[in-house]
Amino acid sequence: MGNFVACCRGFWCRTKNPDVRISLPGVCFIWQIAMIILFGLFVRYNEESDAHWAEHKHTKNITSDIENDFYYRYPSFQDVHVMIFVGFGFLMTFLKRYSFGGVGFNFLIAAFGLQWALLMQGWFHSLDPVDGTIKIGVENIINADFCVAGCLIAYGALLGKVSPVQLMVLTLFGITLFAVEEYIILELLHVRDAGGSMVIHTFGAYYGLTISWILYRPKLELSKRLGGSAYHSDVFAMIGTLFLWMFWPSFNSAISDHGDGQHRAAINTYLALASSVLTTFAISSLSAKRGKLDMVHIQNATLAGGVAMGTAAEFMISPYGSLIVGFCCGIISTFGYLVMTPFMEKYLKIQDTCGIHNLHAMPGLLGGVVGAITAATASETVYGHEGLVNTFDFEGKYANRTSATQGGYQAAGICVALVFGIVGGIIVGCILRLPFWGDPADENCFDDEVYWEVPEDEESMPPILEYNSHMVSKNTDMMSESNFTVDQS
Amino acid sequence: MGNFVACCRGFWCRTKNPDVRISLPGVCFIWQIAMIILFGLFVRYNEESDAHWAEHKHTKNITSDIENDFYYRYPSFQDVHVMIFVGFGFLMTFLKRYSFGGVGFNFLIAAFGLQWALLMQGWFHSLDPVDGTIKIGVENIINADFCVAGCLIAYGALLGKVSPVQLMVLTLFGITLFAVEEYIILELLHVRDAGGSMVIHTFGAYYGLTISWILYRPKLELSKRLGGSAYHSDVFAMIGTLFLWMFWPSFNSAISDHGDGQHRAAINTYLALASSVLTTFAISSLSAKRGKLDMVHIQNATLAGGVAMGTAAEFMISPYGSLIVGFCCGIISTFGYLVMTPFMEKYLKIQDTCGIHNLHAMPGLLGGVVGAITAATASETVYGHEGLVNTFDFEGKYANRTSATQGGYQAAGICVALVFGIVGGIIVGCILRLPFWGDPADENCFDDEVYWEVPEDEESMPPILEYNSHMVSKNTDMMSESNFTVDQS
Amino acid sequence: MGNFVACCRGFWCRTKNPDVRISLPGVCFIWQIAMIILFGLFVRYNEESDAHWAEHKHTKNITSDIENDFYYRYPSFQDVHVMIFVGFGFLMTFLKRYSFGGVGFNFLIAAFGLQWALLMQGWFHSLDPVDGTIKIGVENIINADFCVAGCLIAYGALLGKVSPVQLMVLTLFGITLFAVEEYIILELLHVRDAGGSMVIHTFGAYYGLTISWILYRPKLELSKRLGGSAYHSDVFAMIGTLFLWMFWPSFNSAISDHGDGQHRAAINTYLALASSVLTTFAISSLSAKRGKLDMVHIQNATLAGGVAMGTAAEFMISPYGSLIVGFCCGIISTFGYLVMTPFMEKYLKIQDTCGIHNLHAMPGLLGGVVGAITAATASETVYGHEGLVNTFDFEGKYANRTSATQGGYQAAGICVALVFGIVGGIIVGCILRLPFWGDPADENCFDDEVYWEVPEDEESMPPILEYNSHMVSKNTDMMSESNFTVDQS
């Protein structure tokens, strides 16, 4: 028994080997080939992207090409696309020496994730009962981007501490879980969540946090020197922040109802975001000596308003309601960075690199609650009869559902997202603890050198001051290491 | 009397204390709460963003959701939104150590300004006479972004020399003045200014320049070491420049008339901008030894064509007319940077950090003049009868206005913008001279350290070469100061 | 004769003088004035951007302004615009000390090129037979941006080795050649190439490569110290990469047919791009010690899928077909960087700074072939009768063309693009070898100092550690040179 334990420990705790030369290409090739085969078997164009559109128009008496869903949703799709790749990607460049990993691995897992998401979501939502294929159009690719967002949020908690292979695994399972969770929430419970406060943010955040908890690194302080930002990396991260902030109205309105639904979702999100900027600046300034602002807060907590409007944006929450939501979120999220993140790291053993608990988990939960309350209090006075039916899809077998019932189901949706995030995170976290995924050692976290060919920065290389030629060669070698002192006595 | 003067001097000239720990959160909270209350009292969705849209469609015989104004204007709105936050924000990151302040305070005041703008513009333009509320839709949020642009332009003159609290005050008054000025120009004078050459650029620039004149700092050269750019900060600023440049066609066409109006405005702006790039490069090269280009010119003067097309973009100025406008603006604006900015600083005591006089004031005035001439010479031969009426809104009580009269009113609009900018600037400038706003001392201008927690850039820390261990600790201390020499004899 | 040769050598090989103070402004002014005159003579608004649109609507029974082509294409136009200026511009900032030149000269030649393209393409495609003028609308400005892309691709091969004046000449001829080539391919051969695999990428790449071959610099290794990237410049380049990658679906769909054409083109491109990301990461990791990824590959080869879908994107290539194309392109392109670029430099004397052979030439050719095959195998079963006619424009005098014939013409199009690229490149290359264009000396390539006022980077200046005051001044001088050692014995 003792032998077995020792053996296990040897297996689990052997020296980390972050060489991914076989595993990363292997995973990329296998999964991409699998995608090609599955797409070949299952995925086709839908009636609006198929060349038969001309005939479809005649059949459905559509008079103009502009009625193609492409023109309703493509501009929003592109905004969402920018959020996924530039928004999330650059938001994660804030670490001084992990910018390549931040933006690069974000790119990799998003590109894989969206393919798998098209399949998973397709099987659940767009399966053609006649021929068993998935019919895709612009709404599917928006949903695929949404689905990917969940995994990118999870990546935020793990930034700098995992290998790209682990991220691919995390994404494979994350998308799968997401699709099931989304099916339960949106289809079975018939919950409205166009911007994904629950489906995307709550799920993604708890998924990532749970994995981070399982992968806890007690000696992470060995990488402390690289765990912060540099001046320029903070400016790079602001690119991410601003593109997320600006395009969040498109995110929350991208798959809302045509017409007033998209219109209202965009306005509500716009207002909530503006409001959370002010409270973020306020709390950030209030909490520091001499009122100095902290870039971490500005880069993240300003976005909390968008997260929290994910569910309610398309409802008649009214402009001042949106402002209130943003007001609260900016405060909660900034307090999270000040209090919760250190607390969670110290006492709950959850190391959350980007603070996704503050940006996605808490505002996501709040968004779910706001959505439930707004739905429960919806009335025909405010929405009009037709408006109420359209907004909540009280049609078909849901024709008799009341607003109050809908509110209850909305609340149930929050729980489903939470359970999927936590349970899924535990399972995937355990898989990711297996010792062959090539994750970095505790002293090499947050370091691009591990997985990237990093250019030598001659530019930031200092002129070397020597007093004998012998020293030159000696020091050149030493310079390649990070902290050194030349003791020449 | 002497005592009084001394007392005043003591009050006005006491040592600067840039601690904003109380004032900034205070201002943010008070103003955000005021916004929530006012929005609660006044702001509602308009018929296109309200859930009653379905019923509205029946009433107005609108056959398709695509007729919702959202689909006409939302893509342009998002482009404008990018200009406000990324465009203006990153354009102001060019200073080597004020990038946080450039992009961060731009973010803060834009987020506040747009809320206040929705109210102020709403009261003047979108007030529902029935219930006294403001009905908002996508056009309102575009206009709010426009309104904010005026204040961000003003910020350009003051960049690095004011506190965030001063900026909040500047924005509060700036938006207020803007809304009144805009009401007078667009409604009372019935002037056309879709891209805001007068309303936005002329007003904003003179507002900022006048404030900068009042806040003149005679000892600003104490901050000279930080008053320039660094290599990377110049590249960051190019992000701002390019997003402004690319999306300016959307800016000038965002609230033009549906159909040909938006179409023509985009094309005209596109051409004028292209033209001003060439003359900017030409003058920049011509003015320097060995023809070396200056990034300051490229970052700014290339945009002058867009500013100057703000009024005339939707008119039939014809493609070559647009090219001529851009041609002249590139020259004028670059000369401004070469000649006017140093002249103004030396003789007029106006310190204009970003050179807004060259980018916004002069091209804005020129744009107003071009608009007046183009309007005055408009004829039914060129526009067609219906086209002329649509373009200049010669309807209702303006049905009998002729092109020539319109030209006169356009010219009057320029004066109104100028007067509001200068008089408003004097008033607000005096308010901002009050000594409790927390502005930085002359020797700490252009320095993020004053209002931000700036990360220590270990990265740019050089490997330390020592010849005895005693020196190590000694130098590590000294290294935290900027310019030092170790004299070890 | 010997004298003549010596004289010639003296003429061609005289010391480089990169002073462009006369030539650059001269070229800019002359060409911009020429543009104004030619626009004055030839360019007018088309019926959708003219103020007569209202009357045109009545004539053509158009019921709504939303039918204006502006609303079909403007969002895509803006995405393409971002690709041209931010995408190509920032992709070329990867060199550690040529970021100004990368993004700045890209800006200059794109701004000139689009004007000349409007004229050249207008004469070939949009000439009004009645009055001999060119009528422009949104589709023309998209096409002008496309046309510019060809020259920017060519710039990629020459980055850092040519003067801005040479680039202006390259662009003038490049646009001219492009317009003729495009006319032959699209009009005479009636080939479909909406995203320009042949017309833009193949042509542009071979044009640039041939010029680079003619301008071969045998002593380029003298600039080796500046020929690589720095950490931050690589992150800047990722901005370019991501905006190109995200907006490529808009590029390939911008001028496709309304309705299903645009819809399908966007989806196909989206999928191909996602697929090439995975194979790029795979090959990049596989090729390096310890599986370390190379930023050059990630920045470039990930885009190959978009290039290769330029022709076939609007066809019914089916989703899995798109994935396969992306799959192959990622592999080919990354191998190109690993094998072809060094091979071409060493044996073919082609110095290709950005590796456009791997990103544009090979994927462009492949895209042409894929398009030809897809067209040749198109059938009414897959497209429907109406769909087939619409997609391939089998109307008018092409009503009887079969799919198989179309495939043949598509293949012929590839050859035309190749011939124009190579022959055009030889001619323009010889012109650019003339000795008065102000190109930099071999030891000053890739250096912004040559054409730009570069700020002194105090920031990256290290604190100087001295042990006697004499050394201070000595070293300060030396610090201005790049590689130095102080031998103090």
Residue with tokens 């091979």: C343
A477 touching B (Cβ < 8 Å): no
Closest to C257 (Cα-Cα) out of C395, C78, C365, C374:
C395
Q: Does pLDDT of A294 surpass 50?
A: yes
pLDDT band (50, 70, 90) for residue B213: very high
- Residue A485: the pLDDT is 36
The answer to whether C455 contacts B228, with C-beta atoms less than 8 Å apart, is yes
Q: What is the pLDDT of residues C74-83, one digit of tens each?
A: 999 999 999 9
- Residue A126: the pLDDT is 87
Q: Does pLDDT of A362 surpass 50?
A: yes
Q: What angle do CA C257, C259, C261 make, to 5 degrees?
A: 45
pLDDT band (50, 70, 90) for residue C289: confident
List the chains bordering chain B where 3 or more Cβ pairs fall under 8 Å: A, C
Q: State how far the Cα of A207 lies from the Cα of A294, in Å rounded to an integer.
A: 27
Interface ipTM = 0.90
Q: What is the pLDDT of residues A447-474, one digit of tens each?
A: 999 999 998 765 444 443 333 333 333 3
- Residue C3: the pLDDT is 58
Per DSSP, B345 falls in state I
Q: What is the pLDDT of residues A340-352, one digit of tens each?
A: 999 998 999 999 9
C72 touching B (Cβ < 8 Å): no
- Residue A471: the pLDDT is 36
Q: Does pLDDT of A413 surpass 60?
A: yes
Residue range C56-85: mean pLDDT, rounded:
92
Q: Does pLDDT of C483 surpass 90?
A: no
Chain C contacts in chain B segment 358-387 (CB below 8 A): 382-384, 386-387
Share of chain B above pLDDT 70, in %: 90
- Residue B350: the pLDDT is 92
- Residue A275: the pLDDT is 96
Q: State how far the Cα of B261 lies from the Cα of C68, in Å rounded to an integer.
A: 11
Q: State how far the Cα of C313 lies from the Cα of C264, in Å rounded to an integer.
A: 7
The answer to whether A486 contacts B467, with C-beta atoms less than 8 Å apart, is yes
Chain A with chain B: Cβ pairs closer than 8 A: 258
Higher pLDDT, B359 or B469: B359
A345 touching B (Cβ < 8 Å): no
Whole-structure pTM value: 0.91
- Residue C463: the pLDDT is 40
* Chain B residues with CB-CB distance to C32 below 8 A: 275, 278-279, 282, 323, 327
How many residues in chain C? 489
SS (H, E, C) C219-238: CHHHHHHHCCECHHHHHHHH
Share of chain A above pLDDT 70, in %: 90
Q: Does pLDDT of A486 surpass 90?
A: no
The answer to whether B319 contacts C49, with C-beta atoms less than 8 Å apart, is no
Mutate to test the interface with B, among C33, C39, C226 (most CBs of B within 10 A): C39
> Mean pLDDT, chain B, as a whole number?
88
- Residue C21: the pLDDT is 87
A259 touching C (Cβ < 8 Å): no
Q: Residue A127's beta-bridge partner residues?
A: A134
The answer to whether C104 contacts B295, with C-beta atoms less than 8 Å apart, is yes
Q: Does pLDDT of C457 surpass 70?
A: no
Higher pLDDT, A15 or B343: B343
B114, B452, B466 ranked by CB distance to A485: nearest: B466
Closest to B320 (Cα-Cα) out of C45, C114, C50:
C45
* H/E element, C44: strand C43-45
List the chains bordering chain A where 3 or more Cβ pairs fall under 8 Å: B, C
B225, B250, B467 ranked by CB distance to C78: nearest: B250
Q: Does pLDDT of A101 surpass 90?
A: yes
Residue range B457-466: mean pLDDT, rounded:
44
Residue range B86-90: mean pLDDT, rounded:
95
- Residue C462: the pLDDT is 40
- Residue C438: the pLDDT is 87
- Residue A12: the pLDDT is 54
Half-sphere exposure of B418 (CA within 13 A, CB side): 14
Q: What is the pLDDT of residues B377-387, one digit of tens each?
A: 999 999 999 99
3-class state of residue C436 by DSSP: coil
Q: What is the pLDDT of residues C384-414, one digit of tens each?
A: 999 999 899 898 889 889 999 999 999 999 9
Contact C39, B320 (CB under 8 A): yes
Q: Does pLDDT of C356 surpass 60?
A: yes
State how far the alpha carbon of B2 is from the alpha carbons of B9, B11, B434, in Å: 10, 14, 21
Residue with tokens 């795979």: C282
B463 touching A (Cβ < 8 Å): yes
Contact residues for B9 (Cβ-Cβ < 8 A; gap 6+): none
- Residue B24: the pLDDT is 93
The answer to whether B274 contacts C465, with C-beta atoms less than 8 Å apart, is no
Q: State how far the Cα of B106 lies from the Cα of B85, in Å rounded to an integer.
A: 7
Contact A298, B129 (CB under 8 A): no
Contact B324, B263 (CB under 8 A): no
Residue with tokens 């569910």: A311
Residue range A326-337: mean pLDDT, rounded:
95
B293 touching C (Cβ < 8 Å): yes
Tokens representing A315? 């409802």
